[in-house]
Amino acid sequence: MPTRFLVCPPTQYATAHNINPGTTCNVSYAAPNARRQWDRFIETLRCAGDVTLVELEAHEKAPDLGFTANAALIMDNLAVLSSFRHP
């Protein structure tokens, strides 16, 4: 059975406001670099072995959707969910 990865291209990657202390409003200039890195990452996954990529469509109202891998780590019947809450 192939390993499945949920992925989303960074086509809407931008930050119009400060989401948290680790981000600032000036990251939209990095969009071409983010896409180049994402393309290389996808190429690496495909070369790595038996993988299935489940691709979400980017949406302008969810600019950080490209970080799908940060939501959870799932193996068999176990899911470890992330907590994005800042203290």
| Token representation of residue 59 | 């949406």
Helices and strands counted in the chain (H then E): 1, 4
Cα first-last separation, the chain = 39
Helices (H), the chain: 31-48
Euclidean distance between CA atoms 36 and 41, whole angstroms: 9
State if pTM tops 0.75: no
Q: What is the mean pLDDT of the chain?
A: 76
Average pLDDT over residues 11-31: 63
| Cβ(58)–Cβ(66) below 8 Å | yes
pLDDT digits (tens, 9 = 90+) for 56-84: 888 777 766 666 666 677 778 888 877 76
